[in-house]
Amino acid sequence: MTAMRVRTPAIEGVREFTPQVFGDDRGCFASPFQESAFTQAVGRPLFPVRDISHNISARGVLRGIHYTAAPPGRAKYVYCPYGRVLDFLVDLRVGSPTFGRHQTTELSGGDCRALYIPVGVGHAFLSRQDDSIVVYVMSEGYVPEAELAVSPLDPALGLPLPEGGDLRQSPRDGAAPTLAEARDKGLLPDYDTCREVEAALWP
């Protein structure tokens, strides 16, 4: 088993995993997920996997902030095997001790760093290189009506996005509400409910 460096960031429940990367003139090899390291860090194995997806993004594409209503809720394990992205996590769980807090992490094919994202924590990223790939390992399948978004451009969140940059968003993301608007409309998940949903992922 290769070495894995684990960090506990500022958002409650999030874990960051950085594996050892082996490279030579042929390319590189890494193990972005290692069950023993995950179990030791989180206190239980990874959730039963229901869905694995990925996207490919051109430089300047901004995706998110996406989250899933709870229930059903979705926990995620995310990494970038190729390219380079600036990844953002935002705690959207009303009642969480870290509600509204964000963290920024660079993910790339060079370091194969991965993030465990608990139920109710929003995810976004800015692609900093053409053809950047982000892989999502998820605890639940896709339910369109449960998938929601908050604007990454909300000044109250203060995400470190480049000023005056030509950011490319989907129409859905461009029309997403601010954090305050989403909260006022009752769209944000409840912290205790998210924890209950997440605990139920393990049979």
Question: Which residues belong to the active site?
Answer: 66, 136
Please confirm whether the linkage preceding 65 is cis (ω < 30° from 0): yes
Give every CB contact of residue 85 below 8 A, 6+ residues apart in sequence: 57, 106, 107, 108, 125, 126, 127, 128, 129, 132, 134
Give every CB contact of residue 21 below 8 A, 6+ residues apart in sequence: 28, 29, 30, 110, 111, 112
Whole-angstrom Cα distance, residue 190 to residue 176? 19
DSSP secondary structure code for residue 102 in this structure: E
**Distance between alpha carbon 102 and the CA centroid of its chain, in Å?**
11
User: Can you point out the beta strands (E) in 33-180?
Assistant: 51-57, 62-68, 76-82, 84-91, 102-108, 114-117, 121-127, 132-138, 147-149
